[in-house]
Amino acid sequence: MEDRKLTRQDLRRCWRSWMMYNLSSMSFERLESFGFCLSMLPVAKKLYPDLQERKEMLKRHASFYNTEPQLGAIVNGMVLGLEEKRANGEPIDGETINTLKVGLMGPVAGIGDSMIPGMLIPILLSIGMALAAGGNILGPLFYCVAWLAIILPGSWFLFLKGYRMGSTSVEMLVSSKSNRLREALSLLGVFVMGGVAASYVKLGTGLEFITKDGVNIHLQQMLDGIFPQLLPLIVVLGTWYLMAKRGLSPVKAMLMLLVLAALGVAVGLFAA
């Protein structure tokens, strides 16, 4: 049997297909399966010249699949490495490859969702929002450039790591060192989001009281003297509680805040 060795160019083509099209064909039945299958397509003919074997490979990777795409590139690399070994005659059956892929998509998704949309994106957006204040174009430019500068080399590194190390490469994502890194990033995300909330959440009340002595008391001035920015803090903590502890969706949370703001301004509770 001829040696069916993948080149770096082959690997790059597979990685590029996954990164560009992982979410391009979505359904509740398949989710990212066709994106995963497409990432195997550039090397399918090279690994399996036999048409029937090639059909089996593509059918194998067209089954249900869903994970966080950026960190999930490590699974693509692992599967590609296993397919290469199988094509070269090693005793690896297709069911083993598919079982490994399906078994890893959940844990990798949990890690990736907490690190990418849960921490990295809010941090980059908060910095971009601060730069964009007043219409500065550096805000959106920073986000786009920073996102690509982090995600592209990061996902390529994970893809190669998965290809070279196989199933052992997943330990890199779940080791004690990676846990400490995620905890550090979580703490950084808390500080950043706290700063964003303090800078951008504005809320004041227009309520006034007149004492028996005829003294006019502005409630907002009194609150600022006791606890500045108390009302924005209550809004942030209340929204967090409803979303984290009561399962309120982000869309419903935004609608709730919009309705409360409109009613509060209409009755004079909040300052317009």
Can you give the pLDDT at residue 199? Answer: 67
Q: What is the pLDDT of residues 72-111, one digit of tens each?
A: 898 889 888 888 888 888 877 778 888 888 888 887 887 8
Can you give the pLDDT at residue 190? Answer: 66
Can you give the pLDDT at residue 196? Answer: 64
Can you give the pLDDT at residue 141? Answer: 92
To the nearest whole percent, how much of the chain has pLDDT over 90?
A: 11
Can you give the pLDDT at residue 153? Answer: 93
Neighbouring residues of 77: CB distance < 8 A, sequence distance ≥ 6 = 11, 15, 158, 159, 160, 161, 162, 163, 164, 169
Can you give the pLDDT at residue 84? Answer: 87
- Please give the Cα distance from 128 to 138 (Å, whole number): 7
Q: Taking a C-beta distance cutoff of 8 angstroms, is the pair 114, 182 a contact?
A: yes
Give bridge partners of residue 205 from the DSSP assignment.
270
The pTM assigned to this predicted structure is 0.65
**Which residues in the chain show pLDDT less than 50?**
169
Neighbouring residues of 66: CB distance < 8 A, sequence distance ≥ 6 = 31, 32, 105, 109
121-146 burial: b if 16+ Cβ within 10 Å, else e:
eebbbbbbbbbbeeeeeebeebbeee
Can you give the pLDDT at residue 157? Answer: 92
Q: What is the pLDDT of residues 136-169, one digit of tens each?
A: 888 889 999 999 999 999 999 999 988 887 655 4
Can you give the pLDDT at residue 65? Answer: 87
